[in-house]
Amino acid sequence: MNNENVLEVENLKKYYPIETGIIKSKTSYLKAVDGVSFAVKKGETLGIIGESGCGKSTVAKLLMGLEKPTSGSIKFKGTDILSLDKTQMKKFRKSMQMVFQDPYSSLDPKKTAGYIIQEPLFIHNVGTKAQREARVKELLKMVGLDYYHANRYPHEFSGGQRQRINIARAIALNPEIVICDEPVSALDVSIQAQVINLLKKLQQELGLTYIFISHDLSVVKYLSDRLAIMYLGEIVETGDSKSIYSNPIHPYTKALFSAIPPESPLEEKEKIILEGDVPSPMAPPAGCKFHTRCPYTQQICQESKPLLRATKNGQKVACHLSEQLA
């Protein structure tokens, strides 16, 4: 265990059994997460990117203990969280919190903002009534809301404000890690920047570690120290954000990055259009799962599965052609 890592994930898999056939006797598996490994250092942001359905939210649910993995390990500060009993799990939950995509459905419409933010404190029996109220006041201020907002109901807030309430709730117990699963995807672009700036500010003030999940690279760009790019349940490229942004190597990463609008109108950018749809995770292609859409595909890509390997640029890439493409 590297001391700097707060979280270490090793070969994590989540296969959902799916009943098929008329008499539902045959079970096949949907490989939502198919052997994912990564580590997160204290205070950094790991961005997880990939198209819808590639397994990002399933990774988040596994980390939060909301789903049980098929196999693999998740270590928080060296302790395997999958081996924790109920009491230990409850304690661990305080350290890891989540902000969800839809700021509306994740808030109980019948509860006031003040109650919603305080709820984790009730659940974990933290503080007296007066202390909890003082904490709510403090949290509202931290996320840029006013104290009078405490008595309002979710429908009385805008989308951006609702996400601020979710963030206040997520940090109420002083967690170490906050998993943000598409936290701004449901918001207008102008509001997205405000919420991202808030997350950045809180990270600096509180020394938070983030796992920031998004299908939108331009959103992740402003926050991530490191990136993991997922395709059909697997990480195809990972490393320092800067090196991946300046030199994406995996053909899938290249295609994703080519779709971001150039920063200057003078910058020439070739847009790589991927052909075909994402294959079904119930019947992923053999060999490299990306070979059916890859513009560089060769015989070997259909036959053998490439492993994540370090490249000379520092990032790790799962591609047979990584040396030529680097």
Q: List residues near ligand ADP by CB under 6 A.
A: 16, 30, 32, 50, 52-58, 281
Name the strands in the sheet holding 5-20, side by side, starting at the edge strand that comes first in the sequence: 26-41, 5-20, 71-76, 79-80
113 binds, among Mg ion, ligand ADP, none (CB under 5 to 8 A by kind): none
For ligand ADP, the closer of residues 40 and 49 by Cβ is 49
Angle between helices 189-206 and 159-171 (to 10 degrees): 20
The answer to the question of residue 57 lying near Mg ion (CB under 5 A) is: yes
Other C-beta atoms within 10 Å of 215: how many?
A: 17
57 vs 238, beta carbon nearer Mg ion: 57
Toward ligand ADP, which CB reaches closer, 63 or 117?
63
Which region among 39-47, 54-62, 71-79, 197-205 touches Mg ion (by CB under 5 A)? 54-62
Length of the chain equals 326
Q: Shortest gap between Cβ of 108 and ligand ADP (angstroms)?
A: 22
Mutual orientation of helices 159-171 and 113-123 as an angle, nearest 10°? Answer: 20
- Asked whether the beta carbons of 23 and 34 are under 8 A apart, the reply is no
- Closest separation in Å from C-beta 281 to ligand ADP: 5
> Closest approach of Cβ 215 to Mg ion, in Å?
8
Sequence-ordered list of residues with C-beta below 8 angstroms from that of 1, at least 6 positions apart, any chain: 8, 75, 78
- Which partner, ligand ADP, Mg ion, none, binds residue 69 by CB below 5 to 8 Å per kind? none
Kindly state the smallest distance separating residue 106's Cβ from ligand ADP, in Å: 15
Work out how close the CB of 100 gets to ligand ADP at its nearest, in angstroms, rounded to a whole number.
11
Q: How far is CA 2 from the centre of its chain?
A: 22
For residue 182, the minimal CB distance to ligand ADP (Å) is 8
φ and ψ at 56, to 5 degrees?
Answer: -65, -50
State how far the Cα of 294 lies from the Cα of 297, in Å rounded to an integer.
Answer: 5
Q: Which is nearer to ligand ADP, 58 or 292 (CB)?
A: 58
Other Cβ atoms closer than 10 A to 145:
20
Considering the complex, state which of residue 111 and residue 215 has its C-beta at the smaller distance from ligand ADP: 215
If the CB atoms of residues 56 and 149 are measured against ligand ADP, the closer one turns out to be 56
The end-to-end CA distance of the chain, in Å, is: 30
| Residues 70-109 contacting Mg ion, CB under 5 A | none
Residue 62 interacting partner from Mg ion, ligand ADP, none (CB closer than 5 to 8 Å by kind)? none
3-state secondary structure of 12: strand
